[in-house]
Amino acid sequence: MVREWDPRNASSAEIASLLDTLNAVLAADLPQDPPWRENSLREYLSEVMSGERRISWIAQAEPAPDGMILGHVNVLLLGGIGVLEVLVHPAARRTGLGRELVRVSARRVWDEGFQSIGVEVVGGTPAVAFYESLGFTREYVETRSVLDLNAVDWPALAEMATGVGAGYHLEFCPGGPPDDLIEAYARAKAEVRDVDDGELRPSSYDPQRLRDSLDTLHRRGMKPYIVLTLHEQSGEVAGLTEVVVPAQHLTRADQYDTIVVRDHRGYGIDRAIKARMLLELRSAEPELAEVQTWNAQANEAMLKVNAELGYRPDREWCEYSVDVAELVHRLDPPR
C-alpha cells in the first residue's frame, strides 16, 4: 500500500490526486487557509538546495499506478535532522495509515544515519495528539498571524512606510537582493541570528548559501520579494524583510525573516519595511489577498508591529522532535 515515490517522474494523475488529498486535509484542519493549485506543485515537492535530499512515499487506494493517493510522507534530510511532512486524507484517518507512513520514513532516516526527526505541527489540529502519541516532544512554538489585505488602512500604511529615521533609505527588490548587496545582506542576517529560532526552517547567513536559497525558491515556483534598509553613511544593510509568493497558493503570501540589525534599532525600520512591502505587493501581485507570518511568542516588539499593520494572531505553529532510534523501536520493534 505504501511505496517510495519520486514526484519528478510521477504521472500527472498522481500529482492531481495528491493535490486533492492536500486540499481535503486543509479543508478539514485549516478551513480558513486557501486551497492549493497544481501550479509548480511537482517542482515544490522535488526541488531542494545543494547538499539536501528529499525522499517521498505515497499510499494509494489501489495498486494501480494512478490510484487515488490517500497518504503522502516526505522527509527532507538536512544538517543532522530529518524534517518530516505527513498527509493523510480525512477519509483514511484512524486506520493506522499515518502511523505506517511515519514508520516507513523513520526507518529510512535511521538507515541514513540521522539521529533525530523534526516536524512542524499546527496547533488545534489532530496532528498534535497524533505526534505526541508517537513520542514526539514540543521544542519550539511560534504564533502564526494573518493579514487580510482587504481590511488594510492603506493611507495609514503609506505613512508608516515613510516613518524611518534620517540617514536611511528603503529599497524594494523583487526576486531577491541585488548581487552587489548579497554579502551585506547576509551579514545583516548573521549578526542577529537568534539562538532560540526553530531549526526546521533555517535561514541562510552565508552569501553563497543565500544565492542558492534564492535560486531554489525560484525553481520551486516561489517568488521572493525583499525590502531592505540601507544605512546611507556606511552602505550597510540595516534591516530587511522577506516575503515569498508561492505559485501553489497565489492568494496568500508567506512572510519570512524580518530583521533589524542591533545598532540600527529604534529608528522605525521594522514598521517601515513591513509597510513598504505591503504597498509594493499590492501592485506586484494582483491576486494576493492575505499575508501570513510567524513570530516567536517572546518577540513582543514584532508582534506589536504586526498588530499595528493589521495582522491578527491565528494559530500556534509548533516544532516537535523525536529521537530516531526510539521512534523506530516504538513503531518497528525487532522481531
Query: What is the predicted pLDDT for the residue at 195?
Result: 43
**CATH fold of 153-309, please?**
Aminopeptidase (3.40.630)
Return the C-alpha cell found at 313: 494572531
Between the alpha carbon of residue 293 and those of residues 219, 243, 279, 314, the distances in Å are 22, 9, 16, 10
Residues 6+ apart with CB under 8 A from 38: 15, 16, 19
Query: What is the predicted pLDDT for the residue at 194?
Result: 52
CA 151, CA 114: separation in Å to the nearest integer? 46
Query: What is the predicted pLDDT for the residue at 196?
Result: 47
The model carries a pTM of 0.93
All structural domains of the chain with their residue ranges: 2-142+319-331, 153-309
CA 207, CA 278: separation in Å to the nearest integer? 26
CA 135, CA 310: separation in Å to the nearest integer? 38
- pLDDT, mean of each 10-residue run, the chain (335 residues): 94 96 98 98 96 96 77 94 97 96 97 96 97 97 96 96 95 95 92 56 76 95 97 95 97 95 94 97 97 92 93 96 96 77
CATH 2.60.15.10 corresponds to the domain 2-142+319-331: no
Question: Chain-centre distance of CA 42, in angstroms?
Answer: 17
Query: What is the predicted pLDDT for the residue at 79?
Result: 82
Q: Is 123 exposed, middle or buried (0-12, 13-18, 19+ CB in 10 A)?
A: middle
